[in-house]
Amino acid sequence: MAMKMENISTGKVIGIGEVTILPGEAKEIPAAYEASPILEVYKKMGFARITGKASAPAKTQEEIEAEKKAEAEKAAADAEELRKARLASLEGISEEGLASLANELGINPAECKDKADVLKKVKAALTKKK
């Protein structure tokens, strides 16, 4: 449950960020203002009643960057796993499968001399680390 503020004053309009709370109204407090000391001031002065719990604190820039780095590392590991699986699948691959894989890798099988040439180019493309 998000934090809410009820304006229990008789004539005071309360502003919290972009939220305006008229007397008798109750509205959700913007997450950025949940830790604001002014909330306690309004409460102590008898202008407001605050209910609910503060939402989870926003992530720090370091946490965001660490998550991005972890995602990038996972994507790189997944790509490496796929590359290894594709290399392993080349043994006994059909011509259609080879042509399909070549196209995925940006190799045009029609520009190759024969199946061995396509296979050589596909292996070279899969062996290159990105």
pLDDT digits (tens, 9 = 90+) for 77-97: 998 888 888 888 888 888 888
Place of tokens 């960057």: 65
pTM above 0.75, yes or no: no
**Residue 28 CA: distances (Å) to CA of 19, 35, 45, 47, 54:** 8, 13, 20, 16, 11
Angle at 85 between CA 97 and CA 99, to 5 degrees: 20
In this prediction, the residues of the chain whose per-residue pLDDT falls under 50 are none
pLDDT for res 7? 95
Measured in degrees and rounded to the nearest 5, phi and psi for residue 16 equal -125, 105
